[in-house]
A and B are shown apart, each in its own frame.
Chain A
């Protein structure tokens, strides 16, 4: 709370120091968040092509965006990506977390290794996976030599999306796993002891104790996964270029191309607002559906 001196006419020394310290963040936020945000909002209801004055067009940009087949296709691709990515992300995260529980010495080192994939360059790993998934790459060459078959990883719509999901999962599963692992550490051992006394098997303990107790961590993973899905750019841009038949084109790719290649920033701004709302609503929906309050009575 700001303390005023002299009947409200001046700030206390403590308040001045506090405001000075926080002003750096406030200026940063004003310049790099608030200004772009308001500019984005303005663009979404105006027609502007970089060099002219924005002219008010009301909701016309929104109508155009929701009728744009490329944009709608990209939104549908987010759903397709999540359908493939979520099982991989959750399965992988649980495996990492359970695996870490059984690591004795060097657990911190193993955890650090998982984080390395998370901080590695998306461009670099996309280029590596591009070669791995190539129709003439090592994976397909081995398959062809063994059974005479090549898998069109990047040339068939579902396989192409699966390839993208695998690459993104490789980057994030370790990180998700550490989140889940932190949850595992907080589950009281007594619950498992009590369950064993009641002759609960492994599966029952997993479904009735572990997973419900991990709900906050799993919800966090789900939220992150949804945000990743809406923010995808590098991997599909470099690995599939959005193809085949735009089946891996993501909203971010469409927004980038619309703003900086088609030079239609108003259209792109409107799409980005719709994307923001969409990701927010999906996160809210997921929380409503799956979030449980974990209470140990």
Chain B
């Protein structure tokens, strides 16, 4: 009987121990890294980690892709709760980094030795303000993916445009011609990206950054987009729907392929997708800036879909982990390798001036268009309440404009008021 009890006791202890390794058991003899679960990124880190380990400059690094079947954030959160998180993780969007910082789970990278040198060496001084909150930086961007407008060059030319539209008026005029020519069954451009809260990054926020020349739409506990720029964007969206120059959704097909829409907001990650699935269409794509009421001199501001890397608070090798990170991000050869492997521009401000990257961008016109906008692209607002802020944008601003239920100014005011109320309640 005693033996049976002991067996049960040891079995239960082993089971529970396997579930919850504690912080005190964390390895201090190596740096553990999680990277984004895709082949391109994994390929890059495989080489980078091998080079670091061969150099012997610091603690050895082991890496694995984020063990997720769906969402990286869920997996990172589960690992943190279970105490099985690594020392470093990539693929963290800025809003999630702020949430983790609020919960005390990530380090302030700006406070770590070597941060300032890294920012200078990587030419990130124009990029980092978007990632800095009260002087603290919780995630460091590896890459920056500006959103830009893709246009079917053949369709533009067939309707009298030799270059992509840069202003709302040009889009109105083109949409009118294009839609009318096809009996109102085709649309000038896809304006709204989709229904989920994330889609606001690829419609309203992208347009707002362009209209406001990169001004923030949220500041702590206040929404800031009830201004002339916000009204211009709301008016543009409202008019596109009122005149039926765009559709409620484009879920049935990729509109650029069939010409259902001649233009749409797309990111650099779409280049590989189109190259694999729609190579003929990609050959006919010309990339234009994010449109605004008036054209800008120089690259227009837009949204940057960037993911960053964080150092977890419970790591026992924080400094060593940051040394590794600073080495990877600061190494130009590795930045070029990242670019070649993933097609995503490293978050650095010298991409088109640095001869190291010249060869790549000479061969890739679309890549060059994105690189031009890395400095002028802005990341999402650093807010713990990203989801709620953007859900309100969708329900109070975008949807009323789509259906014509509210005029632009009223919808804009209602959305900002609801956002402020929500932020006040959360506070």
Contacts and interface: CB of A to CB of B under 8 A. Distances in A.
Q: Do A and B bind each other?
A: yes
Contacts of B249: 134-136, 154-155
Given A134-B251, A261-B387, A243 B74 contact: no
B399 to A, nearest CB: 5
B196 A241 contact: yes
A270 B260 CA distance: 46
B402 interface: yes
Interface in B74-111: 74, 77, 80-81, 99, 103-105
Interface in B213-258: 247-253, 255
Nearest to A138: B252
A151 B49 CA distance: 54
Contacts of A202: none
Interface in A180-205: none
A244 B197 CA distance: 12
Contacts of B252: 131, 134, 136-138
Nearest to A137: B252
B251 A51 contact: no
A290 interface: no
Taking residues whose C-beta sits less than 8 angstroms from the other chain, chain A's interface range is 20 to 34
A14 interface: no
Contacts of A4: none
Contact of A262 (B1, B253, B387): B387
Contact of B77 (A136, A240, A242, A260): A260
Nearest to A263: B99
A138 B253 CA distance: 10
Contacts of B77: 50, 260, 263
A240 B196 CA distance: 8
B260 A136 contact: yes
Taking residues whose C-beta sits less than 8 angstroms from the other chain, chain B's interface range is 20 to 34
A49 B71 CA distance: 19
Contact of B395 (A49, A134, A136, A243): A243
B140 to A, nearest CB: 22
B250 A136 contact: yes
B156 to A, nearest CB: 20
A177 B278 CA distance: 43
Contacts of B403: 152, 155-156, 244
Contacts of B402: 155
A273 B77 CA distance: 23
Nearest to B12: A27
Contacts of A261: 73, 387
Interface string B299-334: 000000000000000000000000000000000000
A144 B185 contact: yes
A77 to B, nearest CB: 13
B39 to A, nearest CB: 22
A130 interface: yes
Given A50-B80, A51-B80, A131-B251, A246 B395 contact: yes
Name the prevailing secondary structure of the A interface residues.
loop
Nearest to A237: B196
A136 B99 contact: no
B188 interface: no
B247 A136 contact: yes
Interface in B369-405: 385, 387-388, 391, 394-395, 399, 402-403
A22 interface: no
A136 B192 CA distance: 14
Interface string A151-195: 010111000000000000000000000000000000000000000
A268 B77 CA distance: 16
B194 interface: yes
Nearest to A264: B426
Contacts of B356: none
A263 B195 contact: no
A243 B195 contact: yes
Contacts of A131: 251-253
Contacts of A144: 185
B373 to A, nearest CB: 28
B67 to A, nearest CB: 16
22 contacts: A10-B1, A130-B251, A134-B249, A134-B252, A136-B247, A136-B249, A136-B251, A137-B252, A138-B252, A152-B248, A154-B195, A155-B248, A155-B249, A155-B399, A241-B194, A241-B195, A243-B399, A244-B195, A244-B395, A245-B399, A260-B74, A263-B99
Interface of B: 1, 71, 73-74, 77, 80-81, 99, 103-105, 185, 194-197, 247-253, 255, 260, 385, 387-388, 391, 394-395, 399, 402-403
